[in-house]
Every structure is written in C-alpha cells, then in structure tokens.
Amino acid sequence: MKSLEVTLRAVRENGRKALVPYFVAGATPDWVRHVEAAALGGADAIEIGIPFSDPMMDGVVIQEAGLRALQAGTTFESIGRQLTSIDTEVPLIAMTYYNIFLHYGLARSAGRLHEFGLSGAIVPDLSLEESDEWRTSCGEHDIATIFLVAPSTPAERIKEVARRSEGFLYASARMAVTGASSDQGDGARVVANVREASDLPVYVGIGITTPEQAATTAAVSDGVIVGSALVKVILNGASVHDVENFVRSFRDAIDTTFEV
C-alpha cells in the first residue's frame, strides 16, 4: 500500500472528513506560500496542478490560472524546485495531463515527482487500458495513481477503476469540466456506486463551491476537493492570509457538521 493511502485511510479511521484544496502551480509568484497556508487552514492533502497548454478537464477559471502560469515560464522542473521550499507535512498530489509525463519519460517523471515531495498523481486523460507502464513507474517511487469515476461510469468499469486506483478514488459530481456550481450534482450516487466495489477513501470534486456544499457533500463521502472556487479567489488577488481563511472556512463547516 502506498504511503499516501496509508495516510488517507488513517484520516478516515480517525473520523475526520478529508479536505483537499487544489492549486495551479505558478499561477502567482507566491503560490507555494498559498499551499502552506492551505495546510495551516486544515487541508488533509493538497493537489498541485501542473499547467498544460491543452487541458481537457479544466473550466475557464483553472484554464486562466494555467495560462498565467505558462506565460510566467512555469515548467515541470520549475515547479519541482519551488516545491522543495514548502514547509508542510500535508501530502501533495500532482494533477496534470499524460502528455507532460509521456514527453518527459514515464520513469523519469515518477522519480521526479518523488524527489519533489509529491506522493500521488491524478492524470485525468490516462485510460486504464494504457496505464500499466505509468503505474509500474509510480510503484517504484511510492507514487499513488489516482483515477476518476464519473456519474456515467458503469458498475463493471468502477470495479476495474477501483482495483487499479491507489490513495483514494476521485468521484466527479457531474459530467462537466471544473467550475463553480449551485447544486450538489451526482456526488452521492457516484460515491454509493464506488462503495459497492471498493473500500478506498472516496473524495468528491467538481463544483464544490461553498463551505455549506462541502459539508453536505462530506456527509455522503470521505472527503471533498475544492478547486475552482479557491483558484478564483487567488486570481482575484488573495493574500496568503486570505487563502488560509478561505480553506479554514471549509474546514470549519465540515468539522462543525460532524463535530470532529
């Protein structure tokens, strides 16, 4: 079992609902300080988005952040150099597209993720059928490969996804790209379907916009992922203190609901 999964299973066993904020690396000059602020605000794991020129899952907010990062000269290696300055023990998880790792070399990419201090990777455009080489490379460096389950994923496919996923399963609440939403989507149904196939922690993402939504979604899952809502406040000029308060507002809403 990968170290990320050991950590996240312990979070669940302790009765805590996980909170996983998402950042676009390089979107602002002080992005690593934002990551540290999220840890102080109560994050249990943090996703580090590696910007890519042709994202297929990202909505307009994250696309804008990615464009800013790329225009500032952000690269896989520059992200790694900056990550080495982060002062936190909260697990860090890469999220990006397969072409970056394929171009860089799968074994080399997995090794660099480990060297940069990351313990997991979400690659939304990597299919199960083409994942063997990547998962093998990750296995040599204690990098958990995390797959997504959509509202449309059939039961038999969920079993295969769950069998190959490590760390946690990412339950998409809706058939859409990332972005804010005013409703809960299909997260509860996706989680229920996953739990029939696996005991991996299941976190819901895509459209978690407010602390209230996060608390409601946490009631039917093991945790929530907050992306676009956080990235938007950063693009609007949020300070390090603002980021900590933003994350803490989600943490407090979840913990108040579950009396952790």
Q: Do 200 and 168 contact (CB within 8 A), yes or no?
A: yes
Dihedral of alpha carbons 79, 96, 203, 210, sign: positive
**Is 47 noted as a catalytic residue in this protein?**
yes
* Catalytic residue (choose from 5, 47, 166, 186): 47
* Catalytic residue (choose from 44, 58, 186, 222): 58
- Here the contacts of 180-184 (C-beta below 8 Å, separation 24 or greater) are 180/61, 180/207, 180/209, 180/228, 180/229, 180/232, 181/206, 181/207, 181/209, 181/213, 182/209, 183/207, 184/213, 184/216, 184/217
**Is 58 noted as a catalytic residue in this protein?**
yes
Catalytic positions: 47, 58
